Amino acid sequence: MASCFVTSFAAAENPAYAARFHDDLAEEVSRLLGRKVDARKCDHTLSADERGSLVAEAGVLVVLCSPDYYLDEGCLDDWKLFQRRLDHVPARRRPARPPERVLVRWHRIDELPGGRPRPPMLTGDVMAPYNKVGLYRVVRNQGPDSSAYRHVLRELAAAVRKGLTAALPPLPAAERVARTAPLPPPRQPSVRTSLTAAVQQAPQTAVTALRESAPLVFVSYAHDDARHSAEVSSLAQLLKDAGLTVVLDQDVAHEPQIWLRWMADNLEAADFILTVASPAYRRRLKQREQPGKGMGATWEGGYVLDQVYGNPGTWQKRILRVLFPRFGEEALPDFPGSRSATVYLIDPVTGQGDLDQLLGYLRRGSPSPL
C-alpha cells in the first residue's frame, strides 16, 4: 500500500527532531483528512531499494531542506526519483511549484545548488522565525507546543492535503533506478557536516587534533529501546551543535568494531563521561541485568564504578549524570557518594532544563586530574 506521504531528510540531521516533526505532521494530516494516514520516514536507515519503493509510490514527498540535504546522496536520489514521477505529468498540466512536493525550511539555506527551488515562506514577514532560521530552530528554541511551531505544522499539513488531491501516479518498477541525473555541482559541506565527518573518521585509539579545540565527551547509556536511543542521539547532537566533540556508539555503528577496545580507548581518552540514566542503565551499572544482555553498558558501568572507587572526592568532575524528564530519579544509578551529586535534567528534544548549565561546565575544558 502506497504511503500518504514520505519525509526525506539527511543523515546528518538530528533524528529525534526530524522524527518528532514527521509524527506531528502525520497527526495533523490525519486530523485534516478525518482518517489515520500512513506516513513513512525516508532516511539513511533504509536501503536504497526501500527508499526507492517509498518515493516511487507515495502521494507526497515532504523534503526537510537544509545544506546537508543537498550533500546527501540518498536524499538526492529521493529528489531525482520523485522528479521523474513529476516529469510523467504533461508540461502543460504541471505547475511551476508542484503541490506533490512539499518543501520545508528545516534549516536556513544561503546558497542553493543550481536548479533547486527554494522552500517557500509561509508568511510575507521575512523576519518570522520559520522564514528566517528554519523549523528546526523554531522547535528547538520555542518547543513543540509553541504557537509558532503549531502554526507552521498546520500550514504544511494543508500543503500535504493539497498535494494528495493531485493523485500523482506511481512510477513503474522498471524506471525506479534513481542515479541517472548528474549530481549538483559540489560545494563545501556545512560546518556541522564537516565536524561530524571528522569525528567519525578520526582514529578511535588516540586523542585526535579535534581535542585541541573542544573537550572530548563520551556518552555512556543503555539501549533501553528505540525511543531512548533516539533521544540520546538527540542529546549528542545538541552537544555537537554547541561545538563539543562527542563520542557516541551510534556514530560508528555502521563500521565493524571490536567494541571492548572501542569502549576502553574512548573512555580513557575522554575529558568527560556523560552517564545517561534509564532503568536499564541503572540495572546494568549495578550488575543486575540478565546474563548476556546489555553487556556494553554493563562494562561501561563497571568502568564508572572503578573511577568512583578510585577517586572518591573528585569523580563528579569528570563523570557527569544526565536524566531525561520522562524518567524519575529512581532511574539514577546509586552508589556511595552519588546521592548529593549534581544531576543535569535535560529534555533531549528541546534542550530545555539544565543544558546551558552542562554546556557551561563542559566548555571549561578538561577537569583537574582525578
Q: DSSP letters along 194-256, please? A: HHHHHHHHS-TTS--GGGGTS-EEEEE-----HHHHHHHHHHHHHHHHTT-EEE-GGGTTTS-
pLDDT in tens, 2-50: 678 999 999 988 888 899 999 999 999 999 999 999 999 998 889 888 8
> Which backbone phi and psi does 272 adopt, to 5 degrees?
-135, 150
> Which of 5-9, 118-122, 276-280 is least confident?
118-122
Residue 69 CA to residue 77 CA, distance in Å, equals 11
Q: What is the pLDDT of residue 114?
A: 64
Residue 104 has pLDDT above 80, yes or no: yes
Q: How many CB atoms sit inside 10 A of residue 285's CB?
A: 25
Q: What is the pLDDT of residue 21?
A: 94
Burial class of residue 241, CB neighbours in 10 A (0-12, 13-18, 19+): middle
| Mean pLDDT comparison of 58-62, 201-205, 214-218, 308-312, highest-scoring range | 58-62
Average confidence score pLDDT of the chain: 82
Place of cell 561530524: 196
Please compute the mean of the pLDDT values over residues 258-276 and round it to a whole number: 91
Q: Does domain 5-175 have CATH number 3.40.1000?
A: no
CATH class of 191-362: alpha beta
With a CB cutoff of 8 Å and minimum separation 6, the contacts of 103 are 63, 65, 117, 118, 119, 120
Q: How many residues does the chain have?
A: 370
Place of cell 546528518: 12
Q: What are the start and end residues of each CATH 3.40.50.11530 domain in the chain?
A: 191-362
Place of cell 493531485: 166
pLDDT in tens, 153-195: 999 999 999 989 878 888 777 666 644 344 344 334 433 344 3
Q: What is the pLDDT of residue 93?
A: 55
Cβ atoms of 240 and 196 closer than 8 Å: yes
Cα 201 to its chain centre, rounded Å, is 19
Residue 232 has pLDDT above 90, yes or no: yes
Could you give the percent of the chain with pLDDT greater than 90? 35
Q: What is the pLDDT of residue 344?
A: 94
CA-CA distances (angstroms) from residue 151 to 11, 17, 70, 144, 156?
A: 26, 17, 26, 11, 9
Please compute the mean of the pLDDT values over residues 94-105 and round it to a whole number: 78
Cβ atoms of 280 and 225 closer than 8 Å: no
> Which of 13-17, 169-173, 239-243, 306-310 is least confident?
169-173
Place of cell 586523542: 207
Residue 205 has pLDDT above 70, yes or no: no
- Give the residue from 28, 129, 33, 41 showing the smallest Cα distance to 78: 41
Please compute the mean of the pLDDT values over residues 313-317 and round it to a whole number: 89
Q: How many CA atoms lie within 13 A of 223 on its CB side?
A: 8
Phi-psi category of residue 292: left, alpha or beta, with phi > 0 → left and psi -120 to 50 → alpha: left
Please compute the mean of the pLDDT values over residues 308-333 and round it to a whole number: 89
Q: Helix, strand, or coil here: 39?
A: strand
- Give the pTM: 0.51
Residue 118 has pLDDT above 50, yes or no: yes
Place of cell 515562506: 121
Residue 302 CA to residue 264 CA, distance in Å, equals 11
**Of 354 and 190, which is predicted with more confidence?**
354
Which H helix or E strand runs over 319? strand 319-323
